[in-house]
Amino acid sequence: MSDTTLEARVRAYIVSNFLLTPETTPARDASLLIEGIIDSTGYLELFQWLKDEFGIRVAADEMGTENFETIANITAYVTRKVDAPGAGAR
C-alpha cells in the first residue's frame, strides 16, 4: 500500500470518528492533541482501529507523540509496522 493511500485511510478515519469535515481536517503535520482533535480516549479508539484495520497491536512504549501526534506520524508508524519482518505473524 502506498503512503498516500495509507495517509488517506488514516485521515478518513480521523475525520469520520472525531466529528470533523474534510474542510476542518488538520494538516498532516498538525498536532492532533494540541488541536483538541483527539484526547486520551480517542487515542484508545485509534489504537483499536489500527488493530482491527491492520492487525497492529500498539505496545505501551510505542504510544508516544513520535508515533501518534500527527497524521504524518501515524502514517509512518503504520508503514513501519506493516512492512516489518514477520508482520504477517501479528
**Domain CATH code at residue 28:** 1.10.1200.10
3-29 per-position pLDDT tens digit: 789 999 999 999 999 977 777 888 999
Q: How much is the mean pLDDT over the chain?
A: 90
For the cut 50, the answer to whether the pLDDT of residue 89 exceeds it is no
**HEC readout, 20-63:** CCCCCCCCCCCCCCCCCCCCHHHHHHHHHHHHHHHCCCCCHHHC
Residue among 64, 70, 87 at smallest CA distance from 1:
87
What local confidence, expressed as pLDDT, does residue 90 receive?
43
Q: Give the structural domain span for 45.
A: 3-89
Instruction: Count how many Cα atoms sit within 13 Å of the Cα of residue 88 in the half-sphere of its side chain.
Output: 0
Number of domains in the chain: 1
18-75 per-position pLDDT tens digit: 977 777 888 999 999 999 999 999 999 999 999 999 999 999 999 999 999 999 999 9
